Structures are given as structure tokens and as C-alpha cells.
């Protein structure tokens, strides 16, 4: 059996730190930067389009480029951090993110803005990927599940509150201010990380970069049940979440007549649901196990999608039914995502960066697919979103229900 399949045991991991509020703040900040920088500019699309003299619809390319670069960059960030350590990769990534943010603030045309978004994604991918890897460096078992659960609250808060923040910034200072603000937040997170955590991947555990060995390691991860089944399940439920992000503007603002502020407030309210699920996840996992609780979360996520699809087929396309179905889905996603992530990463301490990178790639690929399907041209957004969440949630349940105790050979 290869080194990957017979991964380094838990005893070889660095000594666990105490899970403090300050450490969680840093991990949450690293994890949230990508989602924050994505959603904060959504309310400014009309202003940006007017400034550049282009149709608002054309600004969708800024999201597509961000997701594409973000997904691909993660495959390189993980191996780099396994070789050179987390600290240098995180700090260089945040410096690159700052450069992209400043370029976005100064952009005078759509081409420059697209380039700025690509640079932002390239830089912030390091922070998002390595937040999970750093958590795996520091914690194991129940502590890892708790760290990932509370970190996920920050990841959910960013897309939840950022449209509201973006609306306020656009109204008070113009759309360019959103890029300035996320750049300043990147500096703040970099400072907190450098002072509060620092390097968590000691030199003794680092591995040389060899393209063939990296590709072989990715292939081994992709063929290992312990990684691929929970990773795919988590990625599928994340497809439903990003499908919700993509479809909700059409549902709330175009179909139900919400204002920009009301739209932002609705997203902000969703944070509390994920927060509740994030707090409950480690406690439930302690009693029912990681896998059992993650499966229950996937069941709720599937039920939320099925409810939304049923409401749409019954002609009940109103805010009440949408809010109920959305709440059920978010509670399930909030349980399944951190615990499924813990299941996927726990066996691979010596390759935490690489495993986290592949997981991040799968999640972002799923996000792009879910967003595209939920906003398919000509499709009813209620029905399309319900179908994405129900079908992907059902497949995720089937995957995670399979045995995951050994490597596939």
C-alpha cells in the first residue's frame, strides 16, 4: 500500500493548540475572504455597467473568471504549501489579492476589471484553501470538526452579509469603494494571521515539489474512498448553496419585487441559520458520529430542495414557501459541510495542503455547475434551484452512505 493510502497516523501530527476565539477569528477570516470578495460587488453591477457603458449581463464574466481561476489555483496552492509551508503561501497570496483589489478599484473598463478579478481569485485562493489545511495541521477528530464548523460560520456570514455591505458602500461611496474595503480587510487578515498563528507545517513534514509525484498523489486521493466520497458529497451540497446565491437575485428581486436593501437583509438573515447549524454540528457529531450527523445534514439539504421543487410545481412561488425551503436546506448544509470536510481531511495529515486543495477545487467546480444550472436561460428559477438542490442532495446522500473505511484499489 502506498504512503498516501496508509497515511501518517494521528500521532505524527503537531501538538494540538487550544481552540481559542482568536484562532477561530483568523481561520474564519482566511476562509471568508473569497466569498466576501465575490458577493460584495453583486449589488454594484448596475453601477459598474453604467460606468463602463456595457450591459449589466456582461458583468457575469467577472464571476465566471473568478470561479475558474479560484478553482484551478487551488490545485497549485496545496502542493506549494506542503513544500514551503503555509505562512509564505498565505502571505504572498494575500499580497496578490491586495494588488488585484487595487487594480479593480482603478479599473476604467471591463477588460481591466476582469483581469483584476482573476488576480484577486489567484491570491485569495491561498487563504481559503489553507484555512482548512491549517485547521488540519492544528487539530484532529472532534476538535477538527469543531474548528471547521465554526470556520464555516464565517464562510457563510461573508456571502450573507456582503451584499448588504456592498449596497451601503455603493450608495455612500460608489462601487470602487468595495474593492478598497476588501483590500484593506486582506491586509488586516494577513496581520492577524502572521501574529496569531504563523507557520503550522514544520520543515520536517514538508515534501519536495515533483510534478509527477503531485499528479500521482492527486490520482491516489481521487481513488481513495476516505477522501473522495465525503469530498464529492460536500461538493454536491455546496453546488446547491452556490445555486442559491446565483438564483436568489432573480427570485427575490425580479419575481418577488424585493429592493436591493431587502435583498441584502434576506441574505443576512440566512447567516443565523448556518450559525445555529455550525454550533450544533460538533455536539451532534459527538453523540452520533461524524458520518451519521453529516448524513442527517445531507438529508435535510435534500428535503429543502425537494420542498422548493414541490412548492414550485404546486404554483406556490411566494416568499413564505421559499423561505421555509431555504431554511431547511441551509440547516442541512450547515451540518453536512464542516463534518464532511472533516471526514475528507482527517486521514491525510501529512498531505493536508494537497487534500484541501483538491477538495477546494471540487467545491468550486461544483459551485460553478450549481450556479449555471440554477440560472439556466429560460428556466423558472424556483424550479431550477429546487431541482439542483434535490438531485445533488440525493446523490450526495448515496455517496456518503457508501463505506469509506479503506482506500479504493
Helices (H) and strands (E) in the chain, counts: 14, 0
pLDDT band at 350 (very low <50, low <70, confident <90, very high): low
Q: Taking phi first (over 0 means left), then psi (-120 to 50 degrees means alpha), and beta for anything else, what does residue 55 get?
A: beta
* Residue 191, CA atoms < 13 Å, CB-side half-sphere: 7
For 229-255, write each residue's pLDDT tens digit.
999 999 999 889 888 877 787 788 778
Whole-number Å distance between alpha carbons of 50 and 58: 12
Indicate if the pLDDT at residue 203 is higher than 80: no
Q: Find the range with the poorest average confidence among 77-86, 116-125, 332-341.
A: 77-86
100 contacts 122 by C-beta, under 8 angstroms: yes
The rounded mean pLDDT for the chain is: 83
Determine the angle formed by the axes of helices 110-138 and 352-374, rounding to 10 degrees.
130
At residue 56, the pLDDT reads 65
At residue 91, the pLDDT reads 94
Q: Percent of the chain at pLDDT above 70?
A: 89
- Tell me the three state secondary structure of residue 224: strand
Domains of the chain: 17-198+225-401 (1.20.1250.20)
172 contacts 48 by C-beta, under 8 angstroms: no
Determine the angle formed by the axes of helices 110-138 and 45-52, rounding to 10 degrees.
150
Q: What is the dihedral of CA 333, 334, 335, 338, to 10 degrees?
A: 100
Alpha helix stretches (DSSP H) within 250-289: 260-288
Please give the average per-residue pLDDT across 165-173, as a whole number: 87
Q: Percent of the chain at pLDDT above 90?
A: 33
User: Of 301, 306, 332, 307, whose CA–CA distance to 321 is shortest?
Assistant: 307
Question: Which is more confident, 192 or 261?
Answer: 192
Whole-number Å distance between alpha carbons of 204 and 206: 6
356 contacts 230 by C-beta, under 8 angstroms: no
**pTM recorded for the entire structure:** 0.73
Amino acid at each position: 500500500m502506498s504512503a498516501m493510502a496508509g497515511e501518517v497516523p494521528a500521532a505524527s501530527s503537531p501538538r494540538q493548540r487550544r481552540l481559542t476565539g482568536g484562532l477561530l477569528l483568523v481561520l474564519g477570516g482566511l476562509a471568508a475572504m473569497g466569498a466576501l470578495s465575490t458577493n460584495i460587488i453583486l449589488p454594484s453591477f448596475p453601477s459598474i455597467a453604467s460606468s463602463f457603458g456595457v450591459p449589466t449581463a456582461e458583468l457575469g464574466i467577472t464571476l465566471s473568471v473568478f470561479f475558474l481561476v479560484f478553482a484551478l489555483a487551488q490545485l497549485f496552492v496545496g502542493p506549494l504549501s506542503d513544500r514551503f509551508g503555509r505562512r509564505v503561501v498565505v502571505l504572498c497570496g494575500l499580497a496578490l489579492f491586495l494588488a488585484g483589489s487595487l487594480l479593480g478599484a482603478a479599473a476604467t473598463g471591463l477588460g481591466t476589471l476582469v483581469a483584476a478579478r482573476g488576480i484577486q481569485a489567484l491570491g485569495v485562493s491561498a487563504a481559503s484553501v489553507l484555512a482548512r489545511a491549517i485547521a488540519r495541521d492544528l487539530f484532529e477528530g472532534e476538535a477538527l470538526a469543531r474548528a471547521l464548523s465554526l470556520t464555516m460560520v464565517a464562510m457563510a456570514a461573508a456571502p450573507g452579509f456582503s451584499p448588504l455591505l456592498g449596497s451601503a458602500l455603493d450608495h455612500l461611496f460608489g462601487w470602487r469603494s468595495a474593492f478598497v474595503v476588501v483590500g484593506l480587510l486582506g491586509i488586516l487578515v494577513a496581520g492577524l494571521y502572521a501574529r496569531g498563528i504563523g507557520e503550522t507545517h514544520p520543515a520536517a513534514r514538508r515534501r519536495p515539489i515533483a510534478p509527477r509525484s503531485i499528479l500521482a498523489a492527486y490520482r491516489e486521493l481521487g481513488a481513495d474512498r476516505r477522501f473522495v466520497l465525503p469530498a464529492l458529497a460536500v461538493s454536491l451540497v455546496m453546488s446547491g448553496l452556490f445555486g442559491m446565491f446565483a438564483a436568489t437575485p432573480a427570485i427575490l428581486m425580479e419575481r418577488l419585487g424585493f429592493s436591493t436593501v431587502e435583498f441584502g437583509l434576506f441574505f443576512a438573515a440566512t447567516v443565523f441559520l448556518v450559525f445555529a447549524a455550525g454550533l450544533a454540528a460538533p455536539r451532534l457529531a459527538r453523540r452520533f458520529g461524524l458520518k451519521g450527523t453529516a448524513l442527517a445534514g445531507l438529508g435535510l439539504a435534500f428535503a429543502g430542495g425537494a420542498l422548493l421543487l414541490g412548492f414550485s410545481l404546486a404554483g406556490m412561488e411566494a416568499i413564505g414557501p421559499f423561505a421555509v425551503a431555504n431554511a431547511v436546506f441551509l440547516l442541512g448544509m450547515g451540518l453536512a459541510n464542516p463534518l464532511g470536510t472533516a471526514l475528507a481531511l482527517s486521514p491525510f495529515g501529512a498531505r493536508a495542503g494537497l487534500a484541501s486543495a483538491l477538495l477546494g477545487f471540487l467545491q468550486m467546480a461544483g459551485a460553478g455547475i450549481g450556479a449555471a444550472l440554477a440560472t439556466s436561460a429560460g428556466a423558472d428559477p424556483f424550479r431550477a434551484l429546487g431541482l439542483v438542490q434535490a438531485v445533488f442532495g440525493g446523490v450526495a446522500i448515496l455517496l456518503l452512505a457508501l463505506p469509506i473505511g479503506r482506500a479504493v484499489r
